[in-house]
Amino acid sequence: MKKILIIDDSALMRTVLSDIINSDSRFQVVDKAKDGVEGLDLLKKKTYDAVVLDINMPRMDGITMLKELNKAKIKAKIMMASTDTKEGAKVTMDALDLGALDFVHKPDRASECRGEDFTKTFINTLAAVADSKAPVSTKSFSMEDVKETKKVVDLVSKSASKITGNRIVAVASSTGGPRALQAVIPKLPKNLKTPVVLVQHMPEGFTASLAERLDSLSEVKVKEAAEGDILQPGTVYISRGGKHMHIVKNGGKSTIHYMDGPTREGVRPCANFMYESLMESDYDEICCVVMTGMGADGTEGIKNLKTKKKVHVIGQEESTCTVYGMPKAVATAGLVDQVVKLDDIAREIIMNVGVS
């Protein structure tokens, strides 16, 4: 049974979350803390399989506590309980940068937490965090990475003329993704020959903050995809949380189209829909990249896409994944052309699609 620590300043929320966690036989709440000071104190003395951490608390908030854990070199698997305001989304990105592995959007009222949807999401996320590896890479994107990328681009540029045809890059990621994407997207050059479409499993309200964060670090343009966007080379389009993103032909151009509808693989957006929508596209070859995350989203979509299109699949290598679920599923299905360490994914994308 996995031992869980809850850190939340609301006594009611601590009780509600405890009830949810203890209702699943895999978990047991063994300790509770009412702020970061108490939580930090417990983490200095004991180890837990996972920690549920609130962001806004008196004395010491969640972000400060994460910073203190890093300073003290205390490794913990942390899941944030976050509010979905614009500011809340930005702070959640900060928490993921600091080593939190995933988050759930916590409803404002404790009563709403008892609903079936929230309970299911909460338990699934907790399971992924508890089973994950602690953050694989804590280093941020650096000037060294930029130099390394320039070398790769120079290398590829020499053979870029050989890379012909109309191509696109399609990326799927989940738990551990926001941080892993920082080791990929900022290394892509602005003269990348193709557009990049990306599904990161996140609720509505958080994908805009993720896009802003990645855009500020990158040469390529990164945006939350808007309905009707025409796909341009050197631009990364992140699917809006809470909707399924499709790439459709409109007046001879490839454009973004969102659809509502039930979850698939338990998620919305679902990468399978993105991949399948490319079956009818004008692209000659699709470079599919499947990164860290729980479950098997991407596998069925790529399998279907391969019946119609030439596809090159890059799977993230196990030791560099926070959760080796999605890349494992595509590998097990025999769909992967390359297994690549996180730090080398950008290079392989560039080698596959070229620069202009």
Catalytic residues, which ones? Answer: 174, 201, 297
Contact 29, 22 (CB under 8 A): yes
What letter represents residue 322's amino acid? T
What DSSP designation does 133 have?
P
Least Cα distance to 98 among 133, 60, 65 occurs for 65
Q: Rounded to whole angstroms, what are the CA distances from 302 to 205, 210, 276, 277, 331?
A: 27, 25, 7, 10, 11
Cβ atoms of residues 37 and 60 within 8 Å: yes
Secondary structure class of 325 (helix, strand, coil): coil
**What is the Cα–Cα distance from 317 to 308, expressed in whole angstroms?**
27
Angle at 217 between CA 287 and CA 175, to 5 degrees: 60
Length of the chain: 356
Are the CB atoms for 130 and 101 separated by under 8 Å? Answer: no
Phi, psi of 2 (to 5 degrees): -85, 135
Q: Which residues make beta-bridge pairs with 223?
A: 237
The whole-angstrom separation of Cα 211 and Cα 86 is 13
Cβ contacts of 119 within 8 Å, gap of 6 or more? 20, 23, 113
Tokens of 182: 């920082």
Distance, CA of 170 to CA of 340 (rounded, Å): 16
